[in-house]
Copies of this chain bind each other. A is one copy, B any other.
């Protein structure tokens, strides 16, 4: 395990210098915060990461939970971690004061999560899911529901999950079949099964609160007949927690993230499972999507923080590992050089750095929009942030997930054969990160949501708002000599992307949705690169200003020079990929459109 797994200096740079997190504290809701309170939170996260999450990372993978006699036993470090996490106030931090929270901005919550997640990514799933479930109850619950569930959930005694997927439905939520039968007392009897429920069972919390998508008897078909229910593992009867007929009937063994069990749950096998409608009947899906949006950003962060662990581990290895001689020293048979002196190794390290620091910047940017949406005074402002978030959330999820895999993959290559063995953490990081392009909607599903719903669905308005936001954000760069070529490159790429989008608009108007959405994945890939280009330009701007206006920079000088270097790397190595993507996206040849009978061609 490497000594370092994240860079606090980088997180501080992104939060305070690039994205101006402190500006949030001018808003009433966040006004109790300042840099000190943010720092305390990040320090607490670092302590938890270092003291308990990271030491247990490997062992909790090797001793994965099993389902024995209906019971799931997780690794003992998990309850210890969960206790420390909730007792330090991190679990409830983003919630309102009245619910024992501190109204911490999402930006800071994401940053703290990136620290702990870099140390031990499966562990952060537990508090993450609890926060997501609690957030839904806070948003849509009755006062009684809030009083019943939020204090034990945010206090750390109860955990939460989200139960969407069913065997026959997968990503097609309109085919959810779990049923809810109304009871005289206003509650419902739930019957059905859910699969792939992360942290769906464990043995350490007093109770588990499942948020379950189900259909009320007689509800309309499709997505418009789905409701959201609170279904506790144990329900309260006469002040006692009794079994609520939620059964663990299977556990999935996965490639990675083994410390977090993925459960197959049966609700109401004995017709004794009570659920409580949350929010409005038949509005379950849009309500759940609120949680899903947070969860999608969480998956993006996970890809990035696993990438961060890979970057730091392979960087340390490259600095310590002697092998070969420098290419310019032909015939030198003296001492070997450390491999960081090989340009190809540096390229692999810079690739990881560009992904991890650019990706984190992008996701924190999205979190800032979440925070600004929350405190927006007028509906119009709020809507403008919401539009941006709807547009960017699938992109942030996908960039983090897909490029996190790329980063870890490069990390393994730096280590050579050692990277493939269990002796180094890269092997585990690679197994863990691979789930990110699948969680909370695969990359394919995200791409169709982006192009279908968010770009074309609203006539390109969100995309236009995004253009304006980016153009404004990096405006200053055009007048700064070392940044100007990169500003130009970004603007040209955005213009080309607009052409691609127009081309797809025309296809969409022709009405053949399959043709129009056939290459949505490539559109997503291109848009991700553009967004991270934007963020790198912002980072470059900040670093340039600091280098030229700062005095007594000390160690920071190297830090800022490194930022300039990595920004350039991104523009010279990652941005050119847009060329091929654009060519394909503008290409009218339809090669995935052969009709149903031609399946046989595959």
Q: Which residues of A contact B (CB under 8 A)?
A: 165, 168-172, 174-175, 195-196, 221-222, 252-256, 262, 315, 318-319, 321-328, 330, 333, 336, 340-350, 353, 405, 409, 412-413, 416-417, 419-423, 427, 430-431, 434-435, 437-438, 442-444, 447-448, 512-515, 517-521, 558, 561-562, 565, 568-569, 572-573, 576-581, 583-584, 587, 589, 591-594, 596, 599-602
- Asked if B336 and A422 make an inter-chain contact with CB atoms under 8 angstroms apart, the answer reads no
**Given A322-B168, A573-B584, A576-B583, also A346-B420 (CB < 8 A):** no
- Asked if B413 and A438 make an inter-chain contact with CB atoms under 8 angstroms apart, the answer reads yes
Known: A327-B517, A412-B438, A568-B591. 7 other contacts (CB 8 A): A171-B416, A252-B422, A327-B513, A343-B514, A413-B444, A417-B438, A576-B583
By a CB distance below 8 angstroms, the chain B residues around A420 are 254-256, 434-435, 438
By a CB distance below 8 angstroms, the chain B residues around A518 are 343-344, 347
How many copies of this chain does one complex carry? Answer: 2
- Asked if B438 and A419 make an inter-chain contact with CB atoms under 8 angstroms apart, the answer reads yes
Partner of A255, one of B430, B435, B513, B579: B430
Partner of A417, one of B196, B343, B578: B196
- Asked if B421 and A602 make an inter-chain contact with CB atoms under 8 angstroms apart, the answer reads no
User: Chain B: which residue is nearest A255 at the CB level?
Assistant: B427
- Give the distance in Å from the alpha carbon of A175 to the alpha carbon of B221 in the complex: 70
Chain A facing B: main interface SS: helix
**Given A591-B569, A592-B347, also A422-B253 (CB < 8 A):** yes
Partner of A513, one of B330, B416, B443, B580: B330
By a CB distance below 8 angstroms, the chain B residues around A577 are 577, 580
By a CB distance below 8 angstroms, the chain B residues around A422 are 252-255
- Asked if B576 and A323 make an inter-chain contact with CB atoms under 8 angstroms apart, the answer reads no
- Asked if B421 and A328 make an inter-chain contact with CB atoms under 8 angstroms apart, the answer reads no
- Give the distance in Å from the alpha carbon of A315 to the alpha carbon of B601 in the complex: 11
Closest Cβ of chain B to A436, distance in Å, is 10
Closest Cβ of chain B to A523, distance in Å, is 11
- Asked if A336 and B172 make an inter-chain contact with CB atoms under 8 angstroms apart, the answer reads yes
- Give the distance in Å from the alpha carbon of A321 to the alpha carbon of B342 in the complex: 47
Closest Cβ of chain B to A156, distance in Å, is 28
By a CB distance below 8 angstroms, the chain B residues around A434 are 412, 420, 430
